[in-house]
Amino acid sequence: MNKTELLETIENGENSRVEFKRDDAHPDSLAKEMAALLNLEGGAILLGVEDDGRISGITRSREEAERWVMNLARHNLQPELIPVWSSVAMDDGKVVGIVELPADSPGKPYKARRGGAWITYVRVGSTSREATREEEGRLYQAARLVRYDIKPVPDTGFDSLDINRLENYFRDIIKRQVPDRADTEGWQLLLLNTDLLAALDATIYASVAGLLLFGQNPNRRLPQAGVTAVVFPETKKDYNTVDEERIRGPLVSLFSKHGRAVERGVIDRTVEFVARNMGTVAWLEGARRRRKKALPLDAVREAVVNAVAHRDYAREGTDIEVSLYRDRLEVISPGRLPNGVTVEKMKEGVVRVARNELLKEILRDYGYVEHYGMGVRNRIIQSMKAHNSTEPDLVEEEDRFIVRLWKAPKPK
């Protein structure tokens, strides 16, 4: 960061990636800010800058300040980290120390020393605070240290799963032998071995993935496992809607032996909702009027599947949102992208990380998920370009991920 960039950063003020700090701050205070930034998306701490943006400068030499920061990052952070250190001298001789923290550090969740304890901190806007239990759990999940989709769901069991869908999956989709329906012990062993059931303290429960995919009533214990689909008449949300539906039930459809869906799941019902409401676009080709669907169904399906497969199911009470407007479709998935995944990697088709690994693998067995992580590039970006020459918006916000598909090129 050069002097011009530094002054511009200070002018913009503190935010989710920038913290101002005096260099005589308590080590626990600086470690807290470092941990919080690392647990979000990295950023920079500017030493020698007051909260109001006034440059007061560091009070020790550059070398001493660097040693202090490196020693703190080693002894007051868990796991320890080596940040990038630099410093910039102002025209009046005051020096600002810059502590840069990487966005893709693999050590999440980071903890900072507070007295004799180690505390997980998170960044919310320009403020760092102690993480809630739910937030800390999501950090472990994002770091792939905890598999949320194979966790047991309280007050469920083998009877919570739909035997018709289970038989359909094992016998017809992946072509393997299944126990007789009356063989409960055989079914439980099969489902435990495939993580669709989970054992805890000698009690057998349905796993999160088992309930999502094959549950008789998934939303009874996982109320966040659904889609809220709405059609708005104009380009903004409105109380007046054209159509709306809360889509509940198992994620996957029940198929016949010939591959025909006989009972549709959440994914297919959501795509059908969009298909019947998206409208058409028309144009003249010579003297003839041509018409086609406003959006390519391949892109719609991929956006819905990605939301279902990769959303953060630890965020309770929050549906996937599918909103159709006059000019676009928005699919909003709760939770940030999994650790190490970026929008740029998604566009290039080099994503191999999944938040919900079991969920993704079974959706792949059904053909919902494309191999090799190429779905966004092939089925969304290329489909949209071929359909109407538009570039979809892929937007990561603080606690959600948005896919936005445009019905026509935006006016210049």
Within 13 Å, how many C-alpha atoms sit on residue 141's CB side? 25
Give the end of a domain, one of 219, 236, 262. Answer: 219
Largest Cα–Cα distance in the chain?
84
| Residue 67 covered by a domain | yes
| Burial 117-143, CB ≥16 within 10 A → b, else e | eebbbbbeeeebeebeeebbbbbbbbb
Nearest-angstrom CA–CA distance, 111 and 89: 32
Contacts for 396 with CB less than 8 Å, ≥ 6 apart? 336, 337, 343, 402
Q: Which domain holds residue 270?
A: 227-406
Are residue 154 and residue 125 in the same domain, yes or no?
no
Give the end of a domain, one of 131, 161, 194. Answer: 131
Are residue 194 and residue 245 in the same domain, yes or no?
no
| Residue 140 covered by a domain | no
Are residue 181 and residue 297 in the same domain, yes or no?
no
Are residue 97 and residue 157 in the same domain, yes or no?
no
| Burial 342-364, CB ≥16 within 10 A → b, else e | beebbbeeebebbbbbbbbbbbe
Cα 354 to Cα 212, 323, 401, distances in angstroms: 16, 25, 14
| Residue 142 covered by a domain | no
Per-residue pLDDT, 140: 74
| Residue 136 covered by a domain | no
Are residue 280 and residue 349 in the same domain, yes or no?
yes
Which stretches does DSSP call E strand in 196-342? 197-200, 203-206, 227-231, 243-247, 254-255, 261-263, 280-285, 288-293, 320-324, 328-334
Return per-residue pLDDT of the chain as tens, 412 residues. 889 999 999 999 999 999 999 988 899 999 999 999 998 889 999 999 999 999 999 999 999 999 999 999 999 999 888 999 999 999 999 999 999 999 877 778 899 999 888 999 999 888 999 988 777 877 776 666 567 888 999 999 999 999 999 999 999 999 999 999 999 999 999 999 999 999 988 899 999 999 999 999 999 999 988 999 999 999 999 999 999 999 999 999 999 877 788 899 999 999 999 999 999 887 666 667 778 899 999 999 999 999 999 898 888 878 999 999 999 999 999 988 876 678 888 888 766 667 888 999 999 999 998 765 678 888 999 999 999 999 999 999 878 999 999 999 876 5
Nearest-angstrom CA–CA distance, 135 and 122: 8
- 211 in Cβ contact with 205 (< 8 Å): no
Per-residue pLDDT, 266: 96
CA end-to-end span of the chain: 34
H-state helical runs in 83-177: 133-142, 163-167
Per-residue pLDDT, 145: 59
**Which CATH number covers residue 65?**
3.30.950.30
| Residue 139 covered by a domain | no
Are residue 252 and residue 377 in the same domain, yes or no?
yes
Are residue 98 and residue 190 in the same domain, yes or no?
no
Are residue 25 and residue 55 in the same domain, yes or no?
yes
Token look-up 């990636």 returns 17
Are residue 261 and residue 352 in the same domain, yes or no?
yes
Per-residue pLDDT, 143: 65
| Residue 398 covered by a domain | yes
Per-residue pLDDT, 142: 67
DSSP tag of 399: S
Nearest-angstrom CA–CA distance, 353 and 6: 34
**Which CATH number covers residue 369?**
3.30.565.60
Are residue 127 and residue 154 in the same domain, yes or no?
no
Are residue 252 and residue 379 in the same domain, yes or no?
yes
Per-residue pLDDT, 141: 67
Nearest-angstrom CA–CA distance, 320 and 326: 20
Give the end of a domain, one of 194, 219, 244. Answer: 219
- 36 in Cβ contact with 122 (< 8 Å): yes
Nearest-angstrom CA–CA distance, 321 and 323: 6
Are residue 117 and residue 156 in the same domain, yes or no?
no
- Model confidence, pTM: 0.70
| Residue 46 covered by a domain | yes
Residue-wise pLDDT tens digits, 58-78? 999 999 999 999 999 999 999
Token look-up 């393997």 returns 176
Sequence letter at residue 88: V
Nearest to 36 by CA among 133, 165, 136: 136
- The domain tally of the chain equals 3
| Residue 41 covered by a domain | yes
